[in-house]
Amino acid sequence: MNIPRHRSALLAVAGTALVLSLTACQSDGDSASSATPEATVAATAVSAQPAGGKGTGTSGATGPAEAARSTGSKDSAGSTGSSGSSGTTGTTGSTGSTGERASDSAPLCTAGDVTVRAATQDGPPYTHLVLTARNTSHHACRLTGFPHIQFLESHKQDVPAVGKSKPATPVVLTAGAPAYALVKLSDGGIDEDTEPVSAFSVMLEGDPTVIAVTAPGSEGIAVDPAKALTGYWTPELRNGADDF
């Protein structure tokens, strides 16, 4: 009678342990099952935040702005390049234009730049002189107008100039180059009122310095102040324009 009771007790204990074990397993299963949705939600939230949060929003907002800035920068660079190119072209044009006006920029010849000499033209009677102004400086200069000549102390007025002898362009003398002016002394008549002249004065346009010029010939020249004329400075004597 004792053995069956002992077996019943063991069976009862085993059954209780089995029930407890099943209950524990069920509890663990429920816990795992209930934890899984929460973990899934949390994982979903973490993974979704970079895709739909600041990362995505910032990228979307920054993209167009950066593109706009990039485009603006390119346009600005293009505009600057164009301006730079225009400036270079203008400078080149300016440089070319200055070169063409080089003769106009040469300084006026002064008494210190030239040596003036006189020589008779043709034979007796000596009615004309040729003045030669040679550039003895080391730079180019412009010889404008005509020589301002006074032959006699009793006639302080300059000898009148002949307009038809005026050259069409300015006379620019390089170093060593000459210019000429034809000067009429008289008509060469016997009854003319002439006076002997051994030296006379010449002034250049724009320079008040008096240049003393020695008259050619041992006896000097005969000048009729009422008939005297002078031509303009020219690079060479020209037939027709210088005949007076």
pTM of the full structure: 0.58
Q: Each residue of 194-226: pLDDT tens digit?
A: 999 999 999 999 999 999 999 998 889 999 999
Return the closest-CA partner of residue 180 out of 227, 93, 127, 114: 114
- 213 and 187 Cβ atoms separated by less than 8 Å: no
Cα→Cα distances 19→23, 180, 208, Å: 6, 143, 140
Whether 172 contacts 140, CB under 8 Å = yes
> Model confidence over 10-27: pLDDT tens digits?
444 444 444 444 444 444
